[in-house]
Amino acid sequence: MKNARGFTLIEVLVAISVMALMSLMAWRGLDGMLRSQSSLQSRSDEIRGLQAGLAQWQTDLDQLAELPGTPSWDWNGQVLRLTRRTADAPLASNSPNTNLSGTNRQAAPVPASVRVVAWTWRSDPGRPGGGDWQRWQSPPLSQRQDWQSAWALAGQWGQTANDSTRAGQIQIHPLSGWQLFVHRGGSWTNPLSSAAVTSSTTDNPNANANASATTPDGVRLVLTLPPGPAGSGTLTLDWVRPTLSGAPS
């Protein structure tokens, strides 16, 4: 009888080498797929975060509350403070306290509450682009003294954030910088320029001395995006006052 012939040592080594090479190729392919999926997920999260921030920006401007003696807009070159509506339901008229419209609640109900909202760009060398686009908001407010405290707190947050002011802070997106322009008197201009103040006073002869604090007809937001998953370069978004255009922007 003929002896049964098995694999030689060389054949076994060659087979093991081929199997190891195939396993390495399969692992590299799987690793590449996982890396690609992670990159796409990161890009998607960055874009969604930026889109949510831009949508919130437009909503805050659409809901500006223009109440007597209560500024709805204030820009000092560093932080933008806004007074915006939170609800349309009237307040219960059972308290003699002065409301945000400067009248007695029993005499004239006003919208249930407003919020003070602030936007700023804060320098941070540890972040991409060297800073962050941030938003701050107060709790719902219905009394003038509460609004005054929140308005001052928003200004303090815009200058120097601390533990007492960070409670309402949200980081929107890394930015290299931002710019604001307002539309008054038929043209775009810097909100702190003399032209913006002059045109505002001309359009509204009853405006107070701080005419630059009145709500503009339009706002142009210019964001400088650093290199990142969401892209890089300059992003411009224009907003038009709904009462001027007849529809939300």
Per-residue pLDDT of the chain (249 residues; tens, 9 = 90+): 556 566 787 878 888 888 888 888 887 777 777 777 776 777 788 888 889 999 999 999 999 988 887 888 999 989 999 999 986 544 444 444 445 655 544 444 444 589 999 999 998 888 888 899 999 999 998 888 999 999 999 999 988 878 777 888 999 989 999 999 999 878 898 887 644 443 443 344 444 434 446 788 999 999 999 988 777 889 999 999 887 754 444
Provide the H-helix boundaries in the chain. 9-62, 144-159, 194-203, 242-245
Rg (C-alpha) for the chain, rounded Å, is 29
Q: Are 178 and 226 in contact (CB under 8 A)?
A: no
Q: Is the residue at 145 inside a domain? A: yes
Phi, psi of 3 (to 5 degrees): -70, 140
Q: Are 196 and 219 in contact (CB under 8 A)?
A: no
Q: Are 65 and 88 in contact (CB under 8 A)?
A: no
C-alpha separations of 85 from 53, 66, 104, 107, 141 in Å: 18, 9, 19, 20, 10
Q: How confident is the model at residue 221, as a pLDDT?
A: 95
Report angle CA 189, 137, 181 to the nearest 5 degrees: 5
What is the number of other CB atoms lying within 10 angstroms of the CB of residue 209? 8
- Flag whether 182 is in a domain: yes
- 25 belongs to a structural domain: no
Residue 193 forms part of a structural domain: yes
> Domain limits at 70?
40-245
What's at 127, amino acid-wise?
A: R
| Residue 55 within a domain | yes
Which residue from 248, 238, 121, 249 is spatially nearest to 182, judged by alpha carbons? 238
Element (H or E) spanning 114, and its range?
A: strand 114-123
pTM of the model: 0.71
Query: Does a structural domain hold residue 105?
Result: yes
In a domain, 79, yes or no: yes
Number of domains in the chain: 1
Please indicate, yes or no, if residue 18 is contained in any of the structural domains.
no
CB-based burial label for 196 (10 Å; 0-12, 13-18, 19+): buried
